[in-house]
Amino acid sequence: MLNPPLSKKTLFFAAMMLIVLVASIGYWQHLQTDHNTKINQPQLPTKDPTAPITPLKPIANLDPKVVSLGQQLFFDKRLSKDNSLSCASCHNLQTGGDDNMPKSVGINGQIGALNAPTVFNTAYNIRQFWDGRAKSLEEQAQGPIHNPVEMGSNWQEVISKLTFDKAFIKQYKQSFSLPISAQNLAFALATFERSLVLVDSPFDRWLKGDVNAISGQAKRGYEKFKSYGCIACHQGAAVGGGLFEKIGTLNDYFADRGGNITPADLGRYNLTGEEDQRHEFKVPSLRTASMTAPYFHDGSVWQLREAIAKMGWYQLGIKLTPEDIGDIEVFIQSLAGKIPPLEKTP
């Protein structure tokens, strides 16, 4: 027993050092993980006919400086190889956050394989892209920049163009204490997108107790949306975006559509190779559906009424009456919040 007090002290010191080490590794890992994982739950939910629609809430604690930098990047054509396209070229924030075309047109006039979804309310998506291959908005932002038929560029090229721009560097330094990197630019883009939650729709005001916020027809449409079972798939605050389902669960969508089945039609199967996920897509949020024609992953349907009728037939095996369709359409129109005026960026 030589000097027991000293060895106790040493032991205590060693324990403290260990705690500090473990805590900093934890913090470092936290910094490395997707900033979006807290919003996107890792567990994929399943169909739930009783899942209620809840009002959309803005995403809390977004740093306004990073939002503003992200907004600037979103409109910056230097993100594409030939400086011809920005994110906003295909995701028009003045309309529904998409391009209102069946398939998007990338650099050199190339036509993509899928319909562009809206960027509004995407913070509420369980995954990004029709097949859900991106786990977060940060990961998603890599897609269009590198996609040869979209922006056809890469981060190295983008960063070298941006770092030539003194005004950009100045704004960047005001927003971030971190170096210009692919990861930080993607974080800025994603942070801006998280600010694009359209709150305060007539339907949400009604949910919160304003009995006159929506019409009697919209209320009937909501009742039908629930009783026919649309809500089993289009559920939660975003009225969709929460699960993956097959198009054509009860009737064969592709046989009726005619034409070839393209690789893009295979949906989630492309990602997993699981036979039962052939033609599975992320159930789209219906919040902005009244503004984002044409519809479906293939952009094949121009009228919201026709999309509703097709959903009744292919997903639920029912022929909706014109009256049902009209009521549901008015309900869907009540789901869209106001598009906020964009902040002025330098």
Q: Rank residues 99 and 204 by Cβ distance to ligand HEC and give the closer one.
A: 99
55-72 burial, b for 16+ CB within 10 Å, e for fewer? ebeebeebeeebbbbbbb
Least distance (Å) between residue 174 CB and ligand HEC:
21
- Dihedral (Cα; 269, 273, 276, 278), 10-degree rounding: 30
Using CA atoms, how far apart are residues 181 and 157, in angstroms rounded to an integer? 12
What tokens appear for 155 in the block?
A: 């981060």
306 close to 261: Cβ distance less than 8 angstroms? no
Amino acid residing at 99? D
Q: Rank residues 145 and 214 by Cβ distance to ligand HEC and give the closer one.
A: 145
Least distance (Å) between residue 18 CB and ligand HEC:
41
CB neighbours of residue 101 within 10 Å = 15
Distances (CA, A) of 75 to 12, 24, 49, 195, 300: 55, 37, 39, 15, 28
The count of C-alpha atoms lying within 13 angstroms of the C-alpha of 340, restricted to the half-sphere facing its C-beta, is 14
The count of C-alpha atoms lying within 13 angstroms of the C-alpha of 284, restricted to the half-sphere facing its C-beta, is 26
Least distance (Å) between residue 215 CB and ligand HEC:
17
72 close to 345: Cβ distance less than 8 angstroms? yes
Q: Rank residues 76 and 204 by Cβ distance to ligand HEC and give the closer one.
A: 76
Q: Rank residues 187 and 281 by Cβ distance to ligand HEC and give the closer one.
A: 281
Q: Rank residues 93 and 151 by Cβ distance to ligand HEC and give the closer one.
A: 151
Using CA atoms, how far apart are residues 132 and 29, in angstroms rounded to an integer? 24
Using CA atoms, how far apart are residues 177 and 295, in angstroms rounded to an integer? 42
Least distance (Å) between residue 266 CB and ligand HEC:
11
Q: Rank residues 89 and 334 by Cβ distance to ligand HEC and give the closer one.
A: 89
Q: Rank residues 147 and 215 by Cβ distance to ligand HEC and give the closer one.
A: 147
Interface residue list for ligand HEC (CB under 6 A): 79, 85, 87, 89-91, 104, 106, 112, 114, 116-117, 119, 122, 125, 128-130, 137, 140-141, 144-145, 150-151, 189, 193, 228-230, 232-234, 245, 247, 249, 281, 283-284, 286, 289, 292, 295-297, 307-308, 311-312, 315-316, 328
Least distance (Å) between residue 9 CB and ligand HEC:
55
241 close to 285: Cβ distance less than 8 angstroms? yes
CB neighbours of residue 110 within 10 Å = 14
As annotated, the active-site residues are 150
Least distance (Å) between residue 61 CB and ligand HEC:
20
The count of C-alpha atoms lying within 13 angstroms of the C-alpha of 171, restricted to the half-sphere facing its C-beta, is 19
Least distance (Å) between residue 74 CB and ligand HEC:
6
